[in-house]
Amino acid sequence: MANKNRLTHTFTIGGVVLGLILTFFIIKGVLDYQNQTMTFSNIKALHRYSIFFLVDLLPVILGLFARFCGLFFEGRINLLSEQLHVLNQRSAKLQTFAEDILQGKIDSDYDTKLFTDKLGQTLVNIVENIKSNKDAEEQRKKEDFERNWIAEGLARFGEILRRNNDNIELLSLEVISNMCKYVGTAQGGFYILNDEDEHDVHFQLTAHFAYDRQKYNKKRIEWNEGLIGRSAFEKRILVLDDVPDDYLEITSGLGQSNPRNLLIAPLKYNDEVHGVI
């Protein structure tokens, strides 16, 4: 507090001292003008005139005036000091922000209040443009990956179809096993529509793949039975999330394990269902 008010104290002391000096020289000047010496009695005699009481108050008056001046200038100096401190902090944060941009750290949080001037707005615009370009690049990479993934998958399964088109069981096993590995699923089943007997149309499990092991569980699903029959009947893909425990064995016929997601897709050709995966 003493350091903070040092200027005010200096001004106050200076005003009092100046007042004392002026009082001394005024009284001495009047006494010299009257050819009188500087004695207490002569000074007392001067105070027959009331104006000399005002002269006596000069140290107080000038001290108070100097104090108010000191408070004013000290306030201005403190304000400028605080503004300079804020400006330095802002400059330091702007510098850190600019360095983050150079290092590619465009996701760093920043205070928008620091970027109200032209320089700040320019930095913000640079970051937003970089983010926009980065998002666009990531989207392009994602789309390229998806296109390549689809193209690779089509080529792989096209080769499987050409290689095993004379053996339905081997073909279904190759398709379901490679599909499970390609899409990263835990298990899968390949059902072919058996309509040799028009009175006994059903789906026959021709291949079942789970956890890199082949399962030859012979199963049949009736038309419009469970999820497989429903998918075939409605000719649309069914997607289930958070599949309950024991749901697959009872409803879908895919086995006793309990995955949390299930996708069932009908195999259609000319809008006719020939099987279900």
Both 74 and 58 in one domain: the answer is yes
Rounded average pLDDT over 98-121: 64
Q: Is 244 exposed, middle or buried (0-12, 13-18, 19+ CB in 10 A)?
A: exposed
Q: Are residues 90 and 110 located together in one domain of the fold?
A: no
For 24, the token pair is 């001394």
- Dihedral of CA atoms 174, 176, 179, 181 in degrees, nearest 10, equals -80
In a domain, 168, yes or no: no
Both 199 and 241 in one domain: the answer is yes
Query: pLDDT averaged over the chain?
Result: 77
Say if residue 28's pLDDT is above 50. Answer: yes
If asked whether residues 41 and 95 sit together in one domain, one would say yes
Give pLDDT tens digits for 138-178: 888 888 888 888 888 888 888 887 777 777 788 888 888 88
- Work out the pLDDT band at 251, boundaries 50, 70, 90: very low
pLDDT tens sequence across 74-93: 888 888 888 788 777 777 77
Say if residue 226's pLDDT is above 60: yes
Separation CA 175–CA 209 (nearest Å): 10
Q: Would you say residue 173 lies in a domain?
A: no
Cα(179)–Cα(157) distance, integer angstroms: 8
Residue-number span of the structural domain to which 154 is assigned: 106-163
Does 254 score more than 70 pLDDT?
no
pLDDT at 180 over 50: yes
Residue 63 sits in the same domain as residue 23: yes
pLDDT for residue 215: 47
Claim to verify: residue 95 and residue 151 sit in the same structural domain: no
Q: Would the pLDDT of 65 be above 60?
A: yes
Say which range, 61-65, 92-96, 260-264, has the weakest mean pLDDT.
92-96
Task: Please count the structural domains in the chain.
Answer: 3
Provide the pLDDT for residue 117.
Answer: 65
**CA 116, CA 61: separation in Å to the nearest integer?**
47
Domain boundary among 104, 129, 145: 104
Within-domain flag for 171: no
Same domain, 79 and 99: yes
**pLDDT for the residue numbered 113:** 60
Same domain? For 250 and 224 the reply is: yes
| CATH number assigned to the domain comprising residue 205 | 3.30.450.40
Cα 118 to Cα 29, 72, 276: the distances in Å are 63, 33, 63
Q: With bands split at pLDDT 50, 70 and 90, how would you rate the model's confidence at 106? A: low
